[in-house]
Amino acid sequence: MNYRPVLNNIPPVVKNLIIINVLFMLATWVFKNMGIDMVEIFGMHYPGSDKFMLHQVITYMFMHGGFTHILFNMFALWMFGRVLESVWGPKRFLMYYMITGIGAIALHTLISYFEISAMQNTIQAFQNTPSPEILDQFVQKNLPNSSVQVRDFVNSWYDDPTNNAFAGEGLNLMQRILKMKMDIPTVGASGAVFGILLAFGMLFPNTQLMLLFPPIPIKAKYFVIGYGLVELYLGLAQPGSNVAHFAHLGGMLFGFILIKYWNKNSRHFY
């Protein structure tokens, strides 16, 4: 019997993407012990943040928040990506992967723009008419797990609403929350992976997938539709969540558009 290493059975683009992601993860751990935060450098920051750099549009998708995060992403990339690469070939698969990854962060950034613009408008309204009510609503919406000190400060202003000394500190607090929101990095290959999942569902809609929970078989097309609807619901129901649900949807959306474009312009798509 001839033994062949597992990596030899993986098509080149999928294999190299997995290797690059793992190397980035290892480098993140090593440099963290040296006091260097690679997430701050390579994770995607909001364009209005002082920490934003153009290369982050690409590099964010090779960074991950931990072992579980990268494990599930790389497993999905291996499971579905190798099938797509064998159908499309390395060049088209890599193009698809990168476009869906960039599309994912584009939609995520667009949603962040609306959220941050709303925060800036509220801050402007507060500057025009300072009040504990505006500050309280702002904190509850944008800093739901606020510290005891923040809650005590807001309650103290409620107890003494005519004290103008609270207004300046309240404005500083709102601006700090805004900056914190803008400085939160986005990392992970999930957007591109969701694009791959979408593509698999479109190319092989009737393939049976076995879910881990619940342990039942389901056709790929229904799994993709269901997953997309769940992401949409969570994105709308949990604004400000640590999970970038709209980035996942962005990967699926751009993947759908790209596949439709390829189908329209190539008779030999499959």
- The confidence score (pLDDT) of residue 244 equals 73
**Contact predicate 62/157, CB 8 Å:** no
Q: What CA–CA distance (Å, rounded) separates 158 from 177? A: 20
Residue 209 three-state SS: strand
Q: Taking the model in full, what pTM does it have?
A: 0.87
CA distances in angstroms from 151 to 44, 130, 211, listed in the order given = 31, 17, 44
- The confidence score (pLDDT) of residue 213 equals 59
- Residue 34 clears pLDDT 50, i.e. is over it: yes
Q: Return the amino acid letter for 169.
A: E
- The confidence score (pLDDT) of residue 4 equals 46
Question: Measured in Å, how far apart are the chain's first and last C-alpha atoms?
Answer: 34
Q: pLDDT digit string (tens) for 103-158? A: 999 999 999 999 999 999 999 999 999 999 999 999 999 988 888 999 999 999 99
pLDDT-based confidence at residue 269 (cuts at 50, 70, 90) = very low
Mean pLDDT of the chain: 87
- Tokens matching residue 155: 């309650």
Please compute the mean of the pLDDT values over residues 170-186 and round it to a whole number.
94
Q: pLDDT digit string (tens) for 198-225? A: 999 999 988 887 766 567 788 877 877 7
Q: pLDDT digit string (tens) for 229-250? A: 776 666 666 655 566 777 888 9
